Structure 1
């Protein structure tokens, strides 16, 4: 692109041409410019001197400045509008640098975007050179592990998740875990705002049992639920599985924490002892342990059918509640329990010796659950 002639040179050429001593073509030739260029300079000079209508140099400069400012204001408004929409999205983490790339693709200068959003271009280009820092990578890995832990047991808040992270080989402080869990909305299902009532979790299975459940044979319908009792060491939790046919407790697991693994262990124990066929129905309430990924995965692995009752309808699982009522009256409320181990042995002894083999039930023809399962095939054959 040719360089612009100096303003002083232009004025001298115009002054010579205006004297009229030589034709315009000759003047242009003498000064080494084209005729059209000299004619344009003469026209601009007439406008500057007021001999012809048009915008002067100062007015043109002002107009250019106004247009430039308007263009900048439009760019700034577009940046602010896009930034408001970008940060309003339900996406974390909230990073401004990717927005700069999006705006640059729409011909908005990086420098303008950085100035409006309040950070330096050096910081942006440093991020662009290495978009994923080691800290970001570590946070992403921690979030993935926390999501898996919470999916297995939705009752876990950030404190319990922080405890479980150590077992998963992830080292992180509790405050960092709290920040990332809040950022990703990984909250315990028990967390709720003051004055608000938490809704029950959605069922992961249809209700295949309804009220008044009965079974024509063993290993057709199992009921399960979790109960708790306090000791001097803390609470002890029991997850039991009951066969509707004989009222026998076919599997149970006892632990100090009400995790999804407690329900999974009870179900695996029942499967190992009874070896049920496919399509057996396992009915529960809508507790988070029975809605967990681990529990559902075990059901699918053994081709069992999950079933869940209604919200707040204890009658849908009344047969299981009746067993817990007997346990409460005959074991839990009999005395104060000092240790979890002491209470655990008492529960196991009562289930295996008293409930299964000594306590006769009128619903079973005054037979114990073991006797009913043993003698019933003989009665049916007769």
Structure 2
């Protein structure tokens, strides 16, 4: 019943877009979940809305525009999809101080000197990686909660810049609670030392921690996630488009969080580990 309801939503979305749903059903035949198909269709609908002067629309106005077209979706879902696909208001993107060429000093590896997290929201870590599609390269940024290895935020962009990683961090902050003074660990890349990113950390009361130069093992959990993602999904197929790549990765993240058995967590999923611990 739930699957059929999602399929009906996909057909409804495609009709409003004036495109055939056959491509989405082709993906489904190859194993993509109905939820991911619906997300992909919604992303295309958001892109149709987000043109011309409407590029100034943020998630609340985009959500209202979609509702006016009788497209069923929550404001939270629209916000997540916009962040994940780098769709943002041009008004906010061009605010004074939004972009800056300044860079912070390299932070100490605070994480290495800290005890292991005992609850969610104490230690987060992030990084980004390169993904290949038939349309060209796309980059993914991810944020993990180190307590249970859950992927709590992500973003996709054709540019590996400060906006990409900041979007993934902002998604995490919007959807997950964190303690005051929560650590955020990353590498020393210029994106993570940029003013826009460091300002977001400070305003959110997060403490920056950075790996030693040339030492990816200092951020082992995020490296492990990207390695698993590539071994179990990316290296197993060819992505025909940016949309397909993002949809399949998002679908995999849901599996990774909800169902995948993690040896480091006693062979339970991140969500199950958190439920037992809480």
TM-score for both structures, normalised by structure 1: 0.46
**2:133/2:241 contact within 8 Å kept:** yes
Q: CA deviation at 1:307?
A: 0.7
Corresponding residue number in structure 2 for 1:240: 142
Q: How many residues align?
A: 184
C-alpha distance in 2, partners of 1:356/1:148?
32
Superposed CA deviations along residues 287-328 of structure 1, whole A, max 9, x for unmatched, are 111111110000111111011111101110111100000001
Selected match of 2:196 from 285, 291, 294: 294
CA distance in 1, matches of 2:258, 2:183: 25
Q: Secondary structure at the match of 1:250?
A: strand
Hey, what does 1:365 align to over in structure 2? 266
Work out the CA distance in 1 between the residues paired with 2:117 and 2:139. Answer: 28
CA separation of 1:297 and 1:288: change in aligned 2, threshold 3 A: same
Question: 2:184, 2:216 → 1: CA distance?
Answer: 16
Q: Which residue of 2 aligns with 1:282?
A: 184
Query: What is the correspondence of 1:162-311 to structure 2 with a 5 Å cutoff?
Result: 203-210=105-112, 214-311=116-213
Q: CA deviation at 1:257?
A: 1.3
CA RMSD of aligned residues (A): 2.3
**Which residue of 2 is the match for residue 47 of structure 1?**
none
Deviation (angstroms), 1:215:
1.2
Q: CA deviation at 1:235?
A: 0.8
| CA-to-aligned-CA distance 1:203-240 (integer Å, 9 cap, x gap) | 43221012897311111111100001111111111100
Contact 2:99–2:195, Cα closer than 8 Å, also in 1: no
Secondary structure of the structure 1 residue equivalent to 2:257: helix
| Rg (Cα) greater in structure | 1
Map 1:95-110 onto structure 2 (within 5 A): none
Distance 2:251 2:261 in 1: 17
1-structure distance, mates of 2:113, 2:180: 23
Distance 1:287 1:316, change over 3 A: same
Conservation of the 8 A alpha-carbon contact between 2:183 and 2:209: yes
Return the structure number with greater strand share: 2
Output the TM-score relative to the length of structure 2.
0.62
CA contact (8 A) 1:242 1:249 kept: yes
Kindly state the Cα deviation for residue 366 of structure 1 after the two structures are TM-superposed: 1.6
Structure 1 CA distance for aligned equivalents of residues 260 and 186 of structure 2: 25
Residues in 1 aligned to 2:267 and 2:158: alpha-carbon distance in whole angstroms? 35
Q: Aligned equivalents of 1:339 and 1:283: distance in 2?
A: 31
Instruction: Give the Cα–Cα distance (whole angstroms) in 2 for the partners of residues 284 and 330 of structure 1.
Output: 24
CA distance in 1, matches of 2:272, 2:246: 25
CA distance in 1, matches of 2:99, 2:145: 30
Which runs of 5 or more structure 2 residues have no equivalent in the other structure? 1-94
